[in-house]
Structure 1
């Protein structure tokens, strides 16, 4: 029997054209945010620590501005609507696995009729003086990377003997997950990492590219 295909798809910089967290920080420019981003990219601090620290620089009094900007500024990558329909038609399980935040991910995905239980992301609280990021999808006992939203834990929960596991991503939050899957669709920083590690991958610009390759690839 052939395996069931399951796709773990990143959000920021993958479903959307730009990284939404970085876009928020560049727009509001809280003091010290750029050093935190550099530290995360260089892996001097964990993703959980860095993302939490960046949002802690933004006061909750600006909640409406932050939320409105995040949603209004985002651009969905070409072909995503068709890709969601393709996965549904082909019986491919599509999971959104994102290090992004609920206050912009849920509204931006609302138009695509993706079940909420298939969307994994970080949560947020606006109860205090500054924005607090919450972490409902923490690392399992096999991950020590302090991911915040641990993609490898989710990937491991789907048996490799049963599933053909596919990742679509672009950046540091996808590096570890790419080591576990059968097929990698990559852009930006994830391409660089695949090149460094010698991992085979398919580059993409739009979701039409991904659909074309999935059609060409035999199911394992």
Structure 2
């Protein structure tokens, strides 16, 4: 049986959610109500994220990228985790509700672009527009934006052992499909509420340790 890992980016690989971070820094106050509507599932992730970015002028693109490069912190152990997956020949895909213009630069040198699935961006108009190259397929109507369940179906075989690593509402539907889930923060709360089993983690060394101890690898 092959193992295949689908790992979130914002708040998982990075210590904080980069979208929230840049909204706090650059967006007008109304972004807060949109965030709350997403978390309460009143509106879809795709609708909410699109609305939040439409609050930002395209002219500040360079300022946003510079800000995130200066403030985003990669979670402890991620580089060793990437190396571990290579040594164990475990496929690792980054599936992110983040946007290409900051996900790619922050993962440069760690993960090749062909293994990264995220949302795209258009700066040609006055306000930033988010594009959705990985939106929901016909089997998902959650308005995910970057639809992790659809990507799992596309990239994993039925017999694969699917491992999902995440932290937020954007990872919930993927976690429901996984054989093993590593969760922290809001995702941990939701999975507890829904009685879905998971392994808590704070660093990627926790993930490596569990995979080794439970012999998930090389099953």
Match of 1:120 in 2: 117
Question: SS of the counterpart of 1:111?
Answer: coil
TM-score by length of 1: 0.96
Q: Is the CA contact 1:31–1:57 (under 8 Å) kept in the aligned structure 2?
A: no
TM-score by length of 2: 0.96
Alpha-carbon offset, residue 193 of structure 1: 1.2
**RMSD between aligned alpha carbons?**
0.9
1:130-145 counterparts in 2 under 5 A?
A: 130-145=127-142
Alpha-carbon offset, residue 29 of structure 1: 3.2
Q: Distance in 2 between matches of 1:131 and 1:30?
A: 14
1:113-192 counterparts in 2 under 5 A?
A: 114-157=111-154, 158-161=156-159, 163-192=160-189
Alpha-carbon offset, residue 25 of structure 1: 0.5
Alpha-carbon offset, residue 218 of structure 1: 2.5
More displaced, 174-183 or 193-202?
193-202
- Match for 1:21 among 19, 24, 33? 19
The CA deviation string for residues 8-48 of structure 1, in whole angstroms up to 9 with x for no partner, is: 00000000000000000001132411111111111111100
More displaced, 172-181 or 192-201?
192-201
* Counterpart check, 1:98 vs 2:87: no
Q: Distance in 2 between matches of 1:135 and 1:68?
A: 24
Alpha-carbon offset, residue 66 of structure 1: 1.4
Alpha-carbon offset, residue 115 of structure 1: 2.3
Q: Is the CA contact 2:58–2:125 (under 8 Å) kept in the aligned structure 1?
A: yes
More displaced, 48-57 or 68-77?
68-77
The CA deviation string for residues 52-109 of structure 1, in whole angstroms up to 9 with x for no partner, is: 1001000111111112112221000000000000000100000000000111110010
4+ long deviations beyond 2 Å: none
> Structure 2: where are the runs of 5+ without partners?
none
Q: Distance in 2 between matches of 1:203 and 1:75?
A: 20
Q: Is the CA contact 2:27–2:56 (under 8 Å) kept in the aligned structure 1?
A: no
Question: SS of the counterpart of 1:6?
Answer: strand
Q: Distance in 1 between matches of 2:5 and 2:125?
A: 36
- Match for 1:60 among 58, 61, 64? 58
Q: Distance in 2 between matches of 1:75 and 1:185?
A: 19
Q: Is the CA contact 2:6–2:164 (under 8 Å) kept in the aligned structure 1?
A: yes
